[in-house]
C-alpha cells in the first residue's frame, strides 16, 4: 500500500515555515509497511485544496490531510474533502457539546464559528483530540468506486502525533497486510561520508533484503539506517542485526552507537559506568562542548563544569595556563591545549580534563595557523594526548567537528 | 503568476531527509511577485514523476523541478519532463565536451552513463552548472497549448542556489510583471506569541497593503515579517517602513532588531559600540549562553570568557561563590546568581558579568524550586539586578528562554 501526505496551510507556502509532521508520519507509515509516494503542500484556497485532494485520491491508497481543521474561514479541509468524495457533512451534536464544555472549563464563551469543527463527513469515524479542540476524522471507503482511506488530522505537531498514535495506528493496522518491520541505526564517528559509503557499500549492497540509507549527521557523525521486512518480527530483526554485525566488524570501534543514541549520551553512559567525572576548557568552541554534554538530562552526575577561555587572560585566570606558555607557543598550539586540559582538571578536581584551542574563523587565520586548525587535548592526570586536526567548512561546522573530536576521544579513553 | 516547486528524489520520501531548497526558492519567487501555490515531493519512479509534472502543468504558470539530473538510472527528470511536454530530447555535444573536460581536469575517465546529463529538451535553454556536473534547463513555452515556464535545477543546495541566482532570476524577471517588493523583519524579545499577536494584530490588520506574518522563533523571540508590493521600490519600502514604525511604537524597546539581526549579534553591536566586555557564569544553561555569544564571528573582541559551573564546588573554584552562600540559600537562588555574576566579572576583569542558575529538568525540581525556575543576574560591578522567572517547556526550551533573558538584560543595560 502507498500513501500521500498533504500539509494544508498558506503559512507553509511562505519562505518561513516548513511542514515537519510528514517526517514523523513517514516513519510511522513505513513501520506499517506503507510507502509514502508523494508529499504535497497546499494553501488555504478552496480550488487548490480540492485539486490536491482529487489528485491524491487518484494515485494512492491512503490520503492523509494535515491542518485546516480549525474554526476560521480559512479552515476548509472538511468541506473540500467532502466535496471531492461527494459525501455530505453532518454537524455532530456530541462534538458541539464537547467543544462547549472545553470552552466552559476555561471560563470562555464559545463563538458560533467554532461549530464548524463539528462537521463530520458521512461515513467517517470521529477521532477525539486529546490536546486541542479540532477532532480528526478517519474514512475507510470501500464501494464500487474502489477502496481508499482518507484521514483528517490537526496541524499542530503535538495534537497530530497524539491523535495518530492513539486513534490511527490501530485502525491502519487492521487495513494493512500484516508485515513486520525491524530497524537499526548505527552511528560512526570521525569518518567522512564518502569514505564511510566506500567502506559500507560493498557490505550492504550484497544484502538486498535490508534497505540501507547512509546519512551525514552533524559533522563527525555518519548514520547508517537499516530496515527490513519479514513475516515475523524475529525474522525481520535477524536480517537487520546480521547486517549491523557485518558493518560493525568493518568499522570496529568507530561505531559509537548502535541503537540511535547520541554521542553525548554515549559519553555520559561511559562516564557513569566508570564512575568518572569530566571538566572541559574550551576556546574556539566557545561553550559548545559543555552545551552538548549538558543537553543530556542527568549530566550533572558526571559533568562537573568547564571554562570558556576566549581571552588569553581568562585562559590563565580560569584554567591556570601560564601566560609565558601562550607567549611562547601562541594560544592555538598543542602545549596550550595540554595546559588547558590539565589546568581545568586540577581546578575542578575531575577524573578527566579536556582542552580545546583553534581557529574557528572566518577571521584570525594565518598561513601557519589557518582557519580550521584545532588542537584537542585529553588528560586523566597521568597521560595527556593531543589531536591536531584541520577541519573543513564554516565557523559553525569547525566548532562542531572539534567538539565531536573531543567527545570521541573521551569515549575511546573510557572504552579501554 | 503562480508556481509549483517539485522536489524529486526517493530519499526525500524517507523519515530522514527533507527538502529545504523550496524555502529559498519561495523567497526568491515572492520577491519577483510570484506566489507559490503548491509544493510537492516525489520519488525516482517514472510514473509518479510523470504524474507530478503533469499535475503541476495543469494548475500553475511556472513549474520548478529540483533534482534527478545526475548520471544514474534513477535520474529521470529530463526524460519525464520531455515526455509530459511531448518534446524530444537531443544530446548536446557541447555539454558532453564540457563533461569530459570536467572529468579530465580531475584526472578521471568519464563513464558512458554521464552522457545522459547532456540530454536537452527541445526548445530549452541550457543553464551551465558552476558548481557541479549536471546542467539545468529553462523552457519558456508559448504556443497554442498556452504559456508555461518549466525549469530543471540540480538538487544539491549550493548548485541550485548559484544556478538560480545567475541563470534564472534574469530570465524570470523578463516574464513576470514588473513589480517591486520590499520586506522588513522586526524581532521582539521576551513576549509570548499570543500576547504579541494580540498587541500587533490591531495595527497590522488595518494595513491591508502590507502582508504581515507573525512567527515564534527560538523561545523569547517573536518575528514579524512585513512585505509590500508597489510600482516602485521606494513606494513599497515606504509601505513596510510606515507599518514597521507603528509596530515599533507599540512594542517600544522590546523590539531588539529591525533588519533581521539575531539577539547575539545585537548584543555584540552594543558591547562593541560601548567599548564594553562581557563574561558569564552559567549553571543550568550549561554553556549555551557562551555558545550563542561566540557563534558570532568576531565575538572575541567583546566576549572574554565564561564558566560552566555545574557542580557546586566548581561554582566556588571558577566563580568565587562562597560555599557558605550555597549552603544557606541553595544553588538555585538569587544570592547565588548574584555571586556568580559578580564573581565571574572579577575573575575575568570584564565590564559586565552575567550569572545564571536554575532547574532545567526534567529531574531535580521540588515544590519550592520547580523545573523551569531560573535566576539570571547582571552586574556592572556597581549595580546588580536579578530576574527570577518560571519558564515553560522542556529542558531545551527552558535553557533557551534563560539565555534569551540574559542576553536581553545585557542589551537593555547597554541601551541606557
**pLDDT tens per residue, range B244-282:** 999 999 999 999 999 889 999 999 999 999 999 999 999
* Burial class of residue A217 in the structure, from the number of CB atoms within 10 Å of its CB (0-12 exposed, 13-18 middle, 19+ buried): middle
A361 touches chain B (CB under 8 A): yes
**pLDDT at site A269:** 97
Q: Which residues of A touch B39 (CB under 8 A)?
A: 12-13, 40-41
Q: Is B346 on the interface with A (CB under 8 A)?
A: no
Residues of A in contact with B26 (CB under 8 A): 13-15
As a whole number, the mean pLDDT across chain B is: 94
**What pLDDT shows up at residue B231?**
87
Q: How many other β-carbons are positioned within 10 Å of the β-carbon of residue B361? A: 20
Between B33 and B366, whose confidence is greater?
B366
What pLDDT shows up at residue B350? 98
Q: Which long-range contacts (CB under 8 A, 24 or more apart) does A49-55 make?
A: A49/A8, A49/A76, A49/A77, A49/A80, A50/A80, A50/A83, A50/A84, A51/B59, A52/A6, A52/B38, A53/A6, A53/A80, A53/A81, A53/A84, A54/A84, A55/B55
**Quick one: average pLDDT of B105-123?**
90
Domain spanning B263-415, CATH architecture: Alpha-Beta Complex (3.90)
- Confidence band, pLDDT 50/70/90 cuts, at residue B214: confident
Nearest to B318 among A300, A311, A347 (CB): A347
Asked if A215's CB is within 8 angstroms of B16's CB, the reply is yes
Q: Which contiguous run of DSSP H or E holds residue A120?
A: strand A119-121
- Chain B positions touching A52 (Cβ under 8 A) are 38
Q: Which CATH superfamily does the domain covering B2-175 fall into?
A: MoaB/Mog-like domain (3.40.980.10)
Question: B residues 50-69 near A, CB within 8 Å?
Answer: 51-52, 55, 59
CB pair distance less than 8 Å for B306 and A308: yes
User: At A47, is the secondary structure helix, strand, or coil?
Assistant: helix
Cα distance between residue B392 and residue B220, in whole Å = 11
**Subunit contact A41:B42, Cβ cutoff 8 A:** no
Chain A with chain B: Cβ pairs closer than 8 A? 214
Does B196 touch chain A if contact means CB atoms closer than 8 Å?
no
User: Which of A7, A306, A312, A392 is best to mutate for the B interface (most B CBs within 10 A)?
Assistant: A306
d(CA A242, CA A250): 13
Of A305, A309, A396, nearest to B309 by CB-CB distance is A305
Judge contact between A408 and A262, C-beta under 8 A. Answer: no
Q: DSSP letters along B17-40, please?
A: ----HHHHHHHHHHHTTPEEEEEE
Angle at B216 between CA B211 and CA B220, to 5 degrees: 130
Check CB contact of B300 with chain A, cutoff 8 Å.
Answer: yes
Backbone angles phi, psi at B350, to 5 degrees: -105, 165
CATH architecture of A180-257: 2-Layer Sandwich (3.30)
User: How many C-beta atoms lie closer than 10 Å to residue B335's C-beta?
Assistant: 18
CA distance B240 to B210: 6
Stretch B385-412: mean pLDDT: 96
Which of A5, A14, A15, A343 to mutate to probe the B interface, most B CBs <10 Å?
A15
The reported pLDDT for the residue numbered B322 is 98
Predicted pLDDT at B56: 97
The pLDDT value recorded for residue A298 is 96
* Residue B364 with chain A: CB contacts under 8 Å: 300
Q: According to the model, what pLDDT value does residue B217 have?
A: 85
CB-based contact, A348 to chain B, within 8 Å: yes
By C-alpha distance, the chain B residue nearest A13 is B36
Under 8 Å between Cβ of A40 and A52: yes
The Cα–Cα gap between A293 and A265 comes to 8
B38 near A CB under 8 A:
yes
Instruction: List all residues of chain A from 102 to 141 with a beta carbon under 8 Å from chain B.
Output: none
- Exposed (0-12), middle (13-18) or buried (19+): which is A369, by Cβ within 10 Å? middle
Q: Which of B22, B294, B396 to mutate to test the interface with A (most CBs of A within 10 A)?
A: B294
- What is the predicted pLDDT for the residue at A72? 85
Angle among Cα B133, B137, B139 to the nearest 5 degrees reads 180
B238 near B162, Cβ under 8 Å?
no
CB atoms within 10 A of CB A109: 7
The pLDDT tens digits along chain A (416 residues) read 999 999 999 889 999 889 999 999 999 999 888 999 999 999 999 999 999 999 999 999 999 999 999 888 889 999 999 999 999 999 999 999 999 998 888 888 888 888 999 999 999 999 999 888 889 999 999 888 789 999 999 999 999 999 999 999 999 999 987 778 899 999 999 998 888 888 999 999 999 999 998 888 889 999 999 999 898 889 999 999 999 999 999 999 999 999 889 999 999 999 999 999 999 999 999 999 999 999 999 999 999 999 999 999 999 999 999 999 999 999 999 999 999 999 999 999 999 999 999 999 999 999 999 999 999 999 999 999 999 999 988 999 999 999 999 999 999 999 98
First CA to last CA distance, chain A: 48
What's the pLDDT score for residue A272?
97
Which among A178-192, B90-104, B290-304 has the top mean pLDDT?
B290-304
Q: Report CA A147 to chain centroid distance, whole Å.
A: 34
- Per domain, the residue ranges of chain B are 2-175, 180-257, 263-415
- Tens digit of each residue's pLDDT (9 = 90 or more) over B303-342: 999 999 999 999 999 999 999 999 999 999 999 999 999 9
B 250-289 near A (Cβ less than 8 A): 279-280, 286-289
Alpha-carbon torsion angle B37, B10, A169, A208, nearest 10:
170
Handedness of CA B70, B74, B79, B84 (dihedral sign): negative
Beta carbons of A310 and B297 less than 8 Å apart: no
What's the confidence (pLDDT) of residue A388? 96
Kindly provide the ipTM of the predicted complex, given to two decimals: 0.87
The predicted-structure confidence for B16-73, as pLDDT tens digits, reads as follows: 889 999 999 999 999 888 999 999 999 999 999 999 999 999 999 999 999 999 888 8
Whether B263-415 and B2-175 are alike in CATH topology: the answer is no
Separation in Å, CA of A347 to nearest CA in chain B = 6
Amino acid at each position: 500500500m502507498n500513501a500521500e501526505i498533504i500539509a494544508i496551510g498558506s503559512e507553509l507556502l511562505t519562505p518561513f515555515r516548513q511542514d515537519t509532521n510528514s517526517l514523523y508520519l513517514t516513519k510511522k507509515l513505513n513501520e506499517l509497511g506503507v510507502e509514502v509516494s508523494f508529499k504535497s503542500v497546499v494553501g488555504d484556497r478552496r480550488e487548490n485544496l480540492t485539486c490536491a485532494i482529487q489528485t491524491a485520491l487518484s494515485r494512492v491508497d491512503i490520503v492523509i490531510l494535515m491542518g485546516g481543521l480549525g474554526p476560521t474561514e480559512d479552515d476548509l479541509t472538511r468541506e473540500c474533502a467532502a466535496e471531492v468524495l461527494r459525501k455530505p457533512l453532518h454537524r455532530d451534536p456530541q462534538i458541539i457539546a464537547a467543544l462547549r464544555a472545553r470552552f466552559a472549563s476555561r471560563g470562555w464563551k464559545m463563538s458560533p464559528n467554532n461549530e464548524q469543527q463539528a462537521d463530520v463527513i458521512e461515513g467517517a469515524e470521529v477521532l477525539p483530540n486529546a490536546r486541542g479542540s479540532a477532532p480528526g476524522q478517519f474514512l475507510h471507503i470501500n464501494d464500487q468506486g474502489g477502496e481508499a482511506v482518507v484521514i483528517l488530522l490537526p496541524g499542530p505537531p503535538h495534537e497530530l502525533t497524539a491523535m495518530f498514535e492513539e486513534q490511527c495506528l490501530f485502525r491502519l493496522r487492521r487495513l494493512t497486510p500484516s508485515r513486520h518491520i525491524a530497524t537499526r541505526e548505527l552511528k560512526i564517528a570521525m569518518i567522512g561520508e564518502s569514505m564511510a559509503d566506500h567502506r559500507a557499500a560493498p557490505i550492504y549492497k550484497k544484502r538486498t533484503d535490508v534497505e540501507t540509507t547512509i546519512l551525514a549527521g552533524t559533522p563527525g557523525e555518519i548514520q547508517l539506517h537499516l530496515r527490513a521486512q519479514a513475516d515475523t518480527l524475529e525474522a525481520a530483526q535477524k536480517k537487520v542485526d546480521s547486517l549491523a554485525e557485518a558493518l560493525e566488524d568493518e568499522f570496529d570501534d568507530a561505531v559509537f552507537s548502535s541503537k540511535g543514541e547520541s554521542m553525548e549520551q554515549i559519553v555520559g553512559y561511559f562516564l557513569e559506568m566508570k564512575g568518572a567525572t569530566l571538566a572541559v576548557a574550551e576556546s574556539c568552541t566557545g561553550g559548545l562542548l559543555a552545551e552538548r554534554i549538558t543537553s543530556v538530562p542527568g549530566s550533572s552526575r558526571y559533568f562537573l563544569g568547564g571554562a570558556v577561555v576566549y581571552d588569553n587572560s581568562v585562559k590563565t585566570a580560569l584554567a591556570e595556563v601560564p601566560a609565558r606558555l601562550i607567549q611562547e607557543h601562541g594560544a592555538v598550539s598543542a602545549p596550550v591545549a595540554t595546559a588547558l586540559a590539565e589546568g581545568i582538571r586540577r581546578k575542578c578536581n575531575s577524573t578527566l580534563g579536556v582542552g580545546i584551542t583553534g581557529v574557528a574563523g572566518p577571521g584570525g587565520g594565518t598561513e601557519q595557523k589557518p582557519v580550521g586548525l584545532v588542537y584537542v587535548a585529553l588528560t586523566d592526570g597521568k597521560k595527556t594526548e593531543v589531536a591536531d586536526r584541520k577541519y573543513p567548512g564554516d565557523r559553525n561546522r569547525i566548532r562542531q567537528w572539534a567538539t565531536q573530536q573531543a567527545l570521541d576521544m573521551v569515549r575511546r579513553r573510557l572504552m579501554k
